[in-house]
Structure 1
Amino acid sequence: MTSGSFLGRNVDNIKGHRFSPPQVEMFKVDDCNKLSKEHFIGLKLRCAGLVIGKLEIDIMIRSTVAIFEILEKNWLAQDCTLVYIKIKFGVDVTKKEIILVDIIDCDSPGLLLLENKNQLKGSLQSRVVVLMESTSDLTHCEEIKKSCTNFGMSCELRVTSAHTGPEETLDILSEYEGDCIPTVFIAVAGESNGLGAILAGNTAYPVVNCPPLNAHWGAKDIWSSLRVPSGLGCSTVLSPEAAAQFAARIFGINDHMMWSKLRSCALNSWIALKQADANLREFRL
């Protein structure tokens, strides 16, 4: 958001304008003159034996935007809007990689108090309930639970059969309907998957199918999860990690902490790909 010294450097901008995506300005620590990306690359700065090139600058810019957006989301939950933030980067002398060297505290960012006090405060509880048709699928379900834990979501494992015990399935469902805790149900059932459809037809909470595939029938079994009766809006994913991430994305709509973890994962994946590409090119040359 435009304010302070930024307006002094950019007189044509209107005070209070919010940039989307956020506007990034680059400076050397010992210089108050703003640098363009091209100028920065042309300087060929050497820090701790590393020449600062396009890859390093791209990482700094992308990381700065991600850090700003994460902090912006968290301050919004406290009825504040983040106007700007100053971030410093350096070089790891051992790994020769760009690292964050700044301390981000309450003195670093510029904040404005919002007039609207109805913003969501704090982090909502988030719960994933995994229902499996057989304990033979326990390993698959444990992988889902592990991924849920990595995102900070509680995860419970239950065993029930939509075919042989539909009443028990609905009884289990009702246990989670009345406590007002946001919940995502993940149905784990191979062969003929009626579990996901039964759940989706009897709850307003999101339902995700994550069938355990096998070498013999996996390609055919998947259709029972994909082709469900009309009016049953349950999704289907194949990877346990993807099922957990799908649940996290649902919670992240209203949970700023969950959204921040997803945003961080996206940044880390992007940096890993950029570094892998640079390493491959260097090796082939």
Structure 2
Amino acid sequence: MSDKGIKTHFVKQHSDTAFIANRCEMIPIEWVTRRIATGSFLRRNPGVKEGYRFCPPKLETFFKDDENHDPQWSYEQCVAAQLTCGGVLIGPDELDIMGKTTVTVFEILERSWAALDCSLIDMKIEFGINPTTGEILLADVIDSDSWRLWPAGDRRLMKDKQVYRELKEHLSPKPHARAVVLMGSASDMAHSEKIKSSCTTYGVPCELRVTSAHKGTDETLKILAEYEGLGCSTVMFPEGAGLCAAQTLAMSDHVIWSKIRAKQLNTWIGLIHADKKARNDK
């Protein structure tokens, strides 16, 4: 998730079975996202048939209370509880941020598993507050205890957890395409490097080539032939070039799609924070 741009408590891997994370004060709300109706949802909602597909994904919240078996809470109950964690009051803005982040995380993982012909059915995660910064962070371990997976979308094909553990190395495929920047002379290098930097932001491999269609037509055509069949789009600004390449490749590369989705989420969260500050400054 961190690699895709989602803010998490993860710092670095320590060993095969441990990692280092920022200390967080956990928010006692469990967030559940569902694509398909099954399991406990059917027991709580009699009459709904198993297999009902939620579009957009169904989002549910449960209060962490073992003695009362983690009761389901509505959005209004979460607001009314006025929970305070890490010095932060969990109000509508904070709930909206966690809700939208939860759905984004689900969609990123859903695309990842779809690349292996496996359907992500539902998932649960939790968040925490970094007491130093007051920032909301995804602060959970997402593994086979957190989700339900159906190979080929078929419930009957569910397998034990070890199968999915062995598949984890395939969830980050190597890009199978690239963006290519052709510049007329080396004097265009600074501008082209900006395009490459923008591409790198989305995980898009980018190559820079120097060739002049005016002075060396044959050589330029030769270079173009090397990339024949990859498709082509023309844009004027460096950031736009990177985004255009990313959006094109994202149609078939879930890793790049995930980075675009996370960037959109972070932009939205930034607007929420700015709006909250503007309201408080009045």
Does structure 1 conserve the Cα–Cα contact (< 8 Å) formed by 2:175 and 2:205? Answer: no
**Greater share of residues in strand:** 2
What is the aligned counterpart of 1:73 among 91, 111, 119?
A: 111
Q: Quick one: which of 208, 211, 219 aligns to 2:233?
A: 208
Q: Deviations over 1:154-201 (max 9, x none)?
A: 211112222333222111111223xxxxxxxxxxxxxxxxxxxxxxxx
Identity of aligned residues (%): 46
Residue number among 171, 180, 184 corresponding to 1:133 in the alignment: 184
Pairwise CA distance, 1:269:
1.1
Aligned length: 228
Unaligned runs of 5+ in 2: 1-35, 155-169
Indicate the residue corresponding to 2:198 in structure 1.
147
For 2:278, the equivalent position in structure 1 comes to 280
Determine if contact 2:119/2:153 at 8 Å carries over to the other structure: no
Partner of 1:40: 78
Which is worse superposed, 8-17 or 250-259? 8-17
Aligned-pair CA distance for 1:124: 3.8
Query: Does residue 16 of the first structure (1) align with residue 54 of the second (2)?
Result: no
The structure whose RCO (Cα within 8 Å, separation 6+) is larger is 2
Pick aligned residue for 1:3 from 38, 57, 66: 38
Q: Give the direction of change, closer, same or farther, for the CA distance of 1:7–1:115 in structure 2 (3 Å limit).
A: closer
Q: TM-score, normalised by structure 1?
A: 0.75
Query: Structure 2 matches for 1:76-95, cutoff 5 A?
Result: 76-95=114-133
Question: Per-residue displacement from partner, 1:18-69 (whole Å, max 9, x unpaired)?
Answer: 2111000011111522111122112211122211101000001100000000
* Backbone CA RMSD of aligned residues: 1.9
Deviation at 1:115, TM superposition (A): 6.3
1:245 aligns with one of 232, 243, 246:
243
Residue 156, structure 1, aligned to residue 207, structure 2: yes
Instruction: Compare CA radii of gyration and give the structure with the larger one.
Output: 1
Residues 177 and 230, structure 2, Cα contact 8 Å, conserved in 1: no
Secondary structure, aligned partner of 1:21: strand
The one-letter code sitting in structure 2 at the alignment partner of 1:255 is D
The Cα shift of 1:152 comes to 2.1
Write the letter of the residue equivalent to 2:52.
H
Query: Distance between the aligned counterparts of 1:282 and 1:137, measured in 2?
Result: 46
Partner of 2:21: none
SS where residue 55 of structure 2 aligns?
A: coil
Measure the CA separation in 2 of the matches of 1:176 and 1:264.
Answer: 29
How far the C-alpha of 1:274 sits from its partner, in A, is: 0.9
Which amino acid counterpart does residue 150 of structure 2 have in structure 1? L
State the TM-score, normalized to the length of structure 2.
Answer: 0.76
Q: Which residue is 1:262 aligned to?
A: 260
Please list every run of at least 4 consecutive aligned residues from structure 1 whose deviation after the TM superposition is greater than 3 angstroms.
Answer: 120-124
C-alpha separation between the residues in 2 aligned to 1:123 and 1:134?
31
What residue in structure 1 maps to residue 160 of structure 2? none
Counterpart CA distance in 2 for 1:175 and 1:89 is: 47
* Gapped regions of structure 1 (runs ≥ 5): 178-203, 210-235
Q: Distance in 1 between matches of 2:56 and 2:174?
A: 25
Task: Tell me if structure 2 keeps the 8 A contact 1:123–1:256.
Answer: no
Checking the alignment, whether the CA contact within 8 Å between 1:131 and 1:159 is kept in structure 2 is yes
Measure the CA separation in 2 of the matches of 1:105 and 1:115.
19
Amino acid paired to 1:6: F
Matched, 1:51 2:70: no
